[in-house]
Amino acid sequence: MTMKVSMIAAVAENRVIGKDNDLAWDLPDDMKFFMQKTSGHHVIMGRKNYESIPSKFRPLPNRVNIVVTRQADYTAKDCIVVHSLEAALDIAMKNGEEEAFIIGGGEIYTLGLGIADRMYITEVKATFEGDAYYPEYDPSQWREVDRVHHPTDEKHAFAFDFVTYERIKL
């Protein structure tokens, strides 16, 4: 069995994914999409991303939470702590995971970009001030396989598209 490695992120037009260890926007339907996609799976995140999750939601419920950090003595309650993305993926594979999700932040996405099979990108139709970015990627290496538009409405100040990309296998 081969495990799919997927990255999931909400990304502004200028590649911003966050500011001050928080999201730069409030999009409830994107949060719902994230929860539905990752539920029941291994989620792999960097330490700063883990710490940005409100404590009442940590660890993310109904998922195996794996935190990647360089800190030798770091602990995260009810999470698996590792020191490399490879170690995190190894654990997911040994646990029989079919699709492991890299959920951020910027540094972990950069590490995952070269090995990811799939990207679930919520393309937010706006630009934002930020200090965390989704890595640039070569569009010629990815094929869009699904796109669903979400307009602005009373709960969503910005329009966005849920887009699924698959790596083109050479």
**pLDDT tens sequence across 56-81:** 999 999 999 999 999 999 999 999 99
Q: Characterize the bridge pairing of strands 160-167 and 142-150.
A: antiparallel
The arithmetic mean of pLDDT across residues 86-94, rounded, is 98
Is residue 36 domain-resident? yes
Is residue 160 domain-resident? yes
Please count the structural domains in the chain: 1
The arithmetic mean of pLDDT across residues 97-109, rounded, is 97
Q: To the nearest whole number, what is the mean pLDDT of the chain? A: 96
Is residue 8 domain-resident? no
Specify whether the CB–CB gap between 37 and 148 falls below 8 A. Answer: no
Can you give the pLDDT at residue 138? Answer: 95
The arithmetic mean of pLDDT across residues 23-33, rounded, is 95
Is residue 116 domain-resident? yes
Can you give the pLDDT at residue 28? Answer: 97
Residue 51 has pLDDT above 80, yes or no: yes
Nearest to 117 by CA among 99, 135, 91: 99
Is residue 6 domain-resident? no
Domain housing 41: 18-167
pTM of the predicted protein model: 0.96
Residue 29 has pLDDT above 70, yes or no: yes
Percent of the chain with pLDDT over 70: 99
Can you give the pLDDT at residue 170? Answer: 75
Tokens of 77: 């309650």
H or E element, residue 90: helix 85-94
Is residue 11 domain-resident? no
The CATH number of whichever domain residue 154 belongs to comes to 3.40.430.10
Is residue 109 domain-resident? yes
Which residues lie closer than 8 Å to 135 by C-beta, 6 or more apart?
Answer: 15, 106, 109, 110, 113
Is residue 5 domain-resident? no
Residue 127 has pLDDT above 70, yes or no: yes
End-to-end CA distance of the chain: 20
Can you give the pLDDT at residue 67? Answer: 98
pLDDT in tens, 134-158: 999 999 999 999 999 999 999 999 9
